[in-house]
Amino acid sequence: MQTVQLLRVFIIITLSFMFFYCFHQQLPCAHAISLPSSTAKNTSFLDYSTISLGGNSSARLFLQSRSSSNTLASFGLYSTDNSSFVLCVMMTYYSSGYADLVIGQPQVIWSANRNFPVGWNAILSFTGDGNLLLHNSDGTLVWSPETAGTSIVGGSLAVGMRLYGSGNLVLFDRNHSSVWQSFDYPTDTLVIGQSLCVGVNLISNASVTSWTSGQVNLHTRLNGLHFYFGSASYYKQVFQPTSLGNSTSQYCYAFANGSLGSPNLQIFSLPLARSFQFMRLELDGHLRLYEMEEATVRVVFDVLSNDVKFCDYPMACGEYGVCINGQCCCPSSSYFRLQDEWHPDVGCMPLTSLSCNHMGYHQLVPIGNISYFSDDSFQSLAASFSQKKKSLATSATDVYCKQSCLEECSCKVALFHYDSHDGNTGSCLLLSQALLLSQTKSSANHTLAFFKIQGSLPPKRRTSIAVGSAVGSLVLFSIAISIFIWRKCKKREEEEVYFGGIPGAPTRFSYNELKIATRNFSMKLGVGGFGTVFKGKIGKETIAVKRLEGVDQGKDEFLAEVETIGGIHHINLVRLVGFCAEKSHRLLVYEYMSNSSLDKWIFHAHPAFTLSWKTRRNIIMGIAKGLSYLHEECEQRIAHLDIKPHNILLDDKFQAKVSDFGLSKLISRDESKVMTRMRGTRGYLAPEWLGSKITEKVDIYSFGIVIVEIICGRENLDESQPEERIHLISLLQEKARSGQLLDLVDSSSNDMQFHLEEVREMMELAMWCLQVDSSKRPLMSTVAKVLEGAMALEATPNYDLVANYEPNHANVSGQICSYLPSATHLSGPR
User: In whole angstroms, what is the distance from residue 206 CA to residue 212 CA?
Assistant: 5
User: In whole angstroms, what is the distance from residue 742 CA to residue 670 CA?
Assistant: 42
Q: Which residues on adjacent β-strands are paired with residue 578?
A: 507, 589
Torsion sign (Cα): 351, 514, 116, 90: positive
DSSP strand pairing (656-658 vs 648-650)? antiparallel
| Active-site annotation holds for 773 | no
Catalytic residue among 188, 642, 699, 746: 642
CA angle 58, 61, 63 (to 5 degrees): 155
User: Which of left, alpha, beta for 267 (phi over 0: left; psi -120 to 50: alpha)?
Assistant: alpha
User: In whole angstroms, what is the distance from residue 432 CA to residue 414 CA?
Assistant: 9
Tell me the three state secondary structure of residue 172.
strand
Q: How many CB atoms lie within 10 A of CB 469?
A: 8
CA angle 492, 498, 499 (to 5 degrees): 90
Do the Cβ atoms of 654 and 687 come closer than 8 Å?
Answer: no
Q: What are the residues whose beta carbons fall under 8 Å from the beta carbon of 88, sequence distance 6 or more?
A: 75, 76, 77, 78, 108, 109, 110, 111, 112
Q: What are the residues whose beta carbons fall under 8 Å from the beta carbon of 161, sequence distance 6 or more?
A: 32, 33, 34, 63, 126, 132, 169, 170, 171, 172
User: In whole angstroms, what is the distance from residue 72 CA to residue 94 CA?
Assistant: 7
User: In whole angstroms, what is the distance from residue 191 CA to residue 69 CA?
Assistant: 13
Tell me the one-letter amino acid at 142. Answer: V
Residue 828: name the closest of 410, 328, 467, 278 by CA: 410
Residue 204: name the closest of 100, 282, 115 by CA: 282
**Does 546 carry a binding-site annotation?**
yes
DSSP strand pairing (58-66 vs 141-143)? unpaired
Tell me the three state secondary structure of residue 754.
helix
CB-count exposure of residue 36 (10 Å: 0-12, 13-18, 19+): exposed
User: In whole angstroms, what is the distance from residue 792 CA to residue 768 CA?
Assistant: 13
In angstroms, how far is CA 725 from the centroid of its own chain?
Answer: 23
Residue 159: name the closest of 38, 62, 28, 35 by CA: 35
Question: What is the DSSP code (8-state) at residue 240?
Answer: -
User: Which of left, alpha, beta for 810 (phi over 0: left; psi -120 to 50: alpha)?
Assistant: beta
Binding site per annotation, positions: 546
Residues marked as catalytic: 642
